[in-house]
Structure 1
Amino acid sequence: MIEGGSGATAPYTDAARARLVMAYEACELADLARAFVPIGEHELNPDGTNRWPGTVLADAARVVGAAQRFFEAAAVFERMGGADWQVIGDVVEVSARTAQVRFAMAETAFRELLSPERGPAAGEAGRLRAYMTREPLEVALDLDDWVLRHEDGDSGLGTTPVSGGLVRRGPRRRT
């Protein structure tokens, strides 16, 4: 990710990176849910029942998992933007302490991804999230393409519906 040919990494804020992760999780959730809409020609038995018992439920469990990841990413984004545990708790209708217990691990995992001394993340999901936080512009450009392919008549999104909204850090001042 090169900015202006200078070789500098784009200085996106931690909140912008968290929002990008949330956008990615929303994209994954949308794609998983969208797959449920069409009914395949050979999917059903003649009586309308599922030809392969258990497969629909397994796919639905993947959608629920994706929704959970999106929910956690939203909480992390809120925290990166300065929301305290009381705000998070109020929104999800639990105590501040319960909200902290519920989302603190996701926040800690995200903060660890931002650490420059952090080694490679474990597993495919960990590597993907690490990539998203380290190469936000590349991910944002991919999500721009996804949004534009799926805009379904939405107008006014422009050509950079994701990357255009990422907030960069202000210039650092020397003291």
Structure 2
Amino acid sequence: MSYEACELADLARAFVPIGESELNPDGTNRSPGTVLVDAARVVAAAERFFEAAAVFERMSGVDWQLIGDVLEVSPRAARVRFAMAEAVLRELLSSERGPVAGETEQLRAYMAREPLEMAFDLDDWVLRHEDGDSDLGTTPVSGGLAGRAP
């Protein structure tokens, strides 16, 4: 879930600055359609984060009723929406299956098998983006995982 939040944040942050080379003299976009393509990537990342949050809750023992209540849908609709993602993660955690096709699937398999290593990478990301408003310590992600079973 933290990884998906990191990806979403990085994609969204890229929209904040606007370079002069990106704009026509009248302030319109020099490359029509590119902003929409990038926005679609942000929406897709938000969907992945949303799915990861639901799976995180399920892995924490939350039942479909609560997930449905939070999303204002029936427990069945919540299960239909997220059960496959939960099943995929549980399979990754329980199997020693070989390489998975596709870079994204390989990364997710790695994250499932090496959560602490990924957490260290996310520690670095959080600390690079820390705004000084809170004391996150030196292990803002991995600190919560230390000593826990996968």
Aligned-partner Cα distance in 1 for 2:89–2:77: 19
Alignment-derived partner of residue 34 in structure 2 = 55
What secondary structure does 1:104 align onto? helix
Q: Which residue of 1 aligns with 2:20?
A: 41
Q: Which runs of 4+ in 1 moved over 3 A?
A: none
* 1:48 positional shift: 0.8
Could you tell me how far apart the structure 2 residues matched to 1:134 and 1:68 are? Answer: 23
Q: CA deviation at 1:52?
A: 0.3
Structure with bigger helix share is 2
Match of 1:95 in 2: 74
User: In the alignment, which residue of structure 1 is the partner of 2:91?
Assistant: 112
Gaps of 5+ in 2: none
Q: Deviations over 1:6-39 (max 9, x none)?
A: xxxxxxxxxxxxxxxx000000000000000000
Give the CA RMSD over aligned residues: 1.3
Q: Which runs of 5+ in 1 are unaligned?
A: 1-21, 171-175
Return the offset for 1:130.
0.6
Q: Which residue does 1:169 correspond to in 2?
A: 149
2:4 alignment counterpart: 25
Percent of counterpart pairs with the same letter? 81
**Secondary structure of the structure 1 residue equivalent to 2:21:** coil
Name whichever of 108-117 and 67-76 sits farther off. Answer: 108-117
Q: Distance in 2 between matches of 1:132 and 1:103?
A: 19
Partner of 1:9: none
**SS of aligned partner of 1:42:** helix
Matching residue's letter, 2:76: R
The whole-number CA distance in structure 1 between the counterparts of 2:96 and 2:129 is 37
How far the C-alpha of 1:136 sits from its partner, in A, is 1.3
What CA distance in whole angstroms lies between the structure 2 residues aligned with 1:31 and 1:81?
Answer: 27
TM-score (norm: length of structure 2): 0.95
Q: TM-score, normalised by structure 1?
A: 0.82
1:159 to 132, 138, 141: 138
Q: Give the letter aligned to residue 42 of structure 2.
A: V
Q: Secondary structure at the match of 1:83?
A: coil
